[in-house]
Homo-oligomer: A and B are copies of this chain.
Amino acid sequence: MIDTKSKILDTAESLFGKCGYAATSLRHIISEAGVNLAAIHYHFGSKQDLLDQVILRKVRPINKRRLELLDQFEAEAAPGPVCIEKILEAFIMPVMLSDRSPEFLKLMGRIHAEGLMPEIARRHFHLMMERFFTAIRQAMPEMPQEELEWNVHFTLGAMAHMLSVQPVVFAESPSKPSFKVAWQLVAFASSGFRAATDPEKEIEVNR
């Protein structure tokens, strides 16, 4: 086969999305793709590296779009900083474009739900994250660095969970994530960023 590598990537993407990363065995992938087990290790090295490539193929255009939107919003807002709503819009909304395959969100949800995204992001998306951190810092210059970083974490967690609830059968999951839901998340997180925190708050939670 001339394009064993692509065949493996396509099949892995489909199965990772349908069954999850941990639950998908390399033997399942090779039987469906009609290739040999060792071919995966030859082309990708390991199951983890195969996942990285599957994810990267999908996420790179998303990150490209994220940065384009951020560039655009920064140009529109110049010389002032971009407001937090626009920054979060640039970060969140491109995820929802599922033009490549209808299984894309399912795959992203699986990866998030299995806790694999932070590690992949750390290895591959570090520069983009830095761009957004800088923009957020400029949008909220009065906010202490640590508080700001935690708000970013809250937002990442909320977005990850939004993508996760789709594939998992969860009693309260109301509907598939959609543009409407993503917009709701932008509003939710923006409002969260603007929340006033009371650093001196105390309570007796320990009975």
Nearest CB of B to A43, in Å: 24
In the complex, which range does the number of interface residues on chain A fall in?
35 or more
Q: Is A37 an interface residue (CB 8 A)?
A: no
Nearest CB of B to A178, in Å: 10
Do A115 and B112 contact each other (CB < 8 Å), given the known contacts A160-B157, A199-B180?
Answer: yes
Q: Is A41 an interface residue (CB 8 A)?
A: no
Residues in B whose Cβ lies below 8 Å from that of A115 = 112-115, 164, 168
Please name the residue on chain B nearest to A175 by beta carbon: B146
Residues in B whose Cβ lies below 8 Å from that of A161 = 153-154, 156-158, 160-161
Residues in B whose Cβ lies below 8 Å from that of A3 = none
Residue interface mask A158-191, B partner, CB < 8 A = 1 = 1111101100111111110000110111011111
Residues in B whose Cβ lies below 8 Å from that of A162 = 150, 153-154, 157
| Complex alpha-carbon distance, A199 and B179, angstroms | 10
| Complex alpha-carbon distance, A169 and B118, angstroms | 9
B205 touches A154 (CB 8 A): no
Q: Is A198 an interface residue (CB 8 A)?
A: yes
Selected contact of A197 from candidates B164, B171, B183, CB within 8 Å: B183
Give the one of A114, A155, A157, A201 with max B CB within 10 A.
A157
Q: List 9 A-B contacts (CB under 8 A).
A: A114-B114, A115-B115, A129-B172, A151-B188, A153-B162, A183-B197, A184-B197, A191-B192, A191-B195
